[in-house]
Amino acid sequence: MPIATPKQYAAMLDAAQAGDYAYPAVNVTSIVTINAALKSFADSKSDGIIQVSTGGGQFASGLDVKDAAFGAIVLAEAAHRLAEKYNVLVALHTDHCQPGKAEEFLKPLIAETARRRKAGLNNLFNSHMLDASELPLDENMTISKEYLKLCAENEIILEVEAGVVGGEEDGAAGSASTPSEKLYTTPEDMVTVFESLEGLGRYMFAATFGNVHGSYKPGHVKLRPDILKNGQDAVAAKHGEKARFDLVFHGGSGSSLEEIRETLNYGVVKMNIDTDTQYAFTRPIADHIMKNYDGVLKVDDEVGDKKAYDPRSYLKKAEESMAKRLEDACDHLRSNGRTIFK
């Protein structure tokens, strides 16, 4: 199955919202990580989301090029071809893009989708994230409206964020010193987001409820999923039940299963997975190197072992490990066995 069409992606989100489940949205940087994601979704019989950050796109473009938009296009085109071999729906998304990078990252990607559509092809990306949370809310909504209109013209869904996700993840806003009150989006903010964007196009909303990017032990991150419920209720009370958001969960590493599952009841349809899959990918590589030290390296003028230092020998293990971690994510988010692909 090729990458989901705009209508199929909308149906995916509708199904998740109606069924109280969410899709893992996994960051990729290479063909190997794309294949890990596709394997996981197919093995789990789950639809899913593959996403590219500005840093991931820059990395994929090559050390001498360092062009985030170009690298994102390369990864997306690879995903379009690779996804044809699987019987689940997969959507393509771009992760955190701050306003200062949007002109050189989001606009070229939107333009590439427009070019493809004129040629009768599917959208390059199904959705993009504009992370203007570093700005005051009124300025955030002004630029979000601009990009939502651009996206809507090409049946692209925009993800926006209000509030700040703490920690650091590939250039995302926020830091370890972010004031705690900034980590929680207020009901008033959520009403403002709805009233600012209503009628301009379909969007997802990353409201913050104490989430922090990075890797932490369970209990370190103080999540308050009730923030999401209170905000959704405030919007519904003023504008009706249809006004409830499609919510996105960022910074979920270290969250308990109970906390993750609770957010599904409040409208979360997408949860970003990056830190955990990075570790799952790297862990077997480290194991391989340590167990095959004399084979991987040409120690004391020896010749080593080609089978040990062939990158395929450890990248296969990395792909398998990353896929297994994503299978756990599908289970945690209750998306396994629920593909809407027919």
Contact 271, 260 (CB under 8 A): yes
Give kind and range of the element (H or E) at residue 127. strand 127-130
Between CA 278 and CA 29 the distance in angstroms is 10
| Residue 264 DSSP class | H
Contact 261, 332 (CB under 8 A): yes
- Nearest Cα neighbor of 125 from 160, 88, 155 is 155
**Helix/strand/coil for 52:** strand
Which residues 6+ apart lie within 8 Å of 195 measured at CB? 239
**Active-site entry in 67, 95, 189, 246:** 95
**Helices H / strands E in the chain, number of each:** 13, 8
- Nearest Cα neighbor of 126 from 170, 80, 162, 169 is 80
The strand pair at 23-27 and 48-52 is best described as parallel
- Nearest Cα neighbor of 24 from 207, 230, 212, 275 is 275
- What values do phi and psi take at 114, rounded to 5? -60, -40
Q: Please confirm, yes or no, whether 95 is among the known catalytic residues.
A: yes
Between CA 171 and CA 243 the distance in angstroms is 31
- Nearest Cα neighbor of 204 from 6, 334, 13, 5 is 13
DSSP assignment string, 24-37? EEEE--SHHHHHHH
Give the catalytic positions in this structure: 95
